[in-house]
Amino acid sequence: MADNAWLNFHCSTHHQTRIATFRHNGKEWQLAEVAADPLPEVPEGGGIAGRIPMTGKFGIARDYPGCPGCGADSYARCGNCAELGCWRSTSKTYKCAKCGHGGRVSGRIDSANAMDVA
């Protein structure tokens, strides 16, 4: 199993896509860092070549500093498009910056799609 994985991460406040680094600590995938710079706009029809399915428990590293765009302390996965985005743990709801779907946050994340950077 890989030690690191990189996923698209959408800032819910600034609606910018960034790259999130998740590290596996032997028990779970932990959000460790989100890139300070947003990804450049992708031309129509362009995008990531592939996705690598990740399964298991997901959490947050103890030293995670928060989203560099808005400072949110946590993250959620959209129930519609399955993309990850920043979320303030004090809020009961989440609105996806990728597709606009929103709703009440519940449960735990047990799968995600990492970027195929090979």
What is the model's pLDDT at position 12?
85
Query: Taking the domains of the chain in order of start, what are their residue ranges?
Result: 4-115
What is the model's pLDDT at position 118?
44
Instruction: List CB contacts of 20: < 8 A, sequence separation 6 or more.
Output: 6, 7, 8, 9, 31, 33, 34, 35, 75, 84
pLDDT tens readout for residues 41-60: 655 555 555 688 999 999 99
pTM of the model: 0.86
What residues pair up with 10 in beta bridges, in sequence order?
A: 17, 85
Token couple for 84: 């990850």
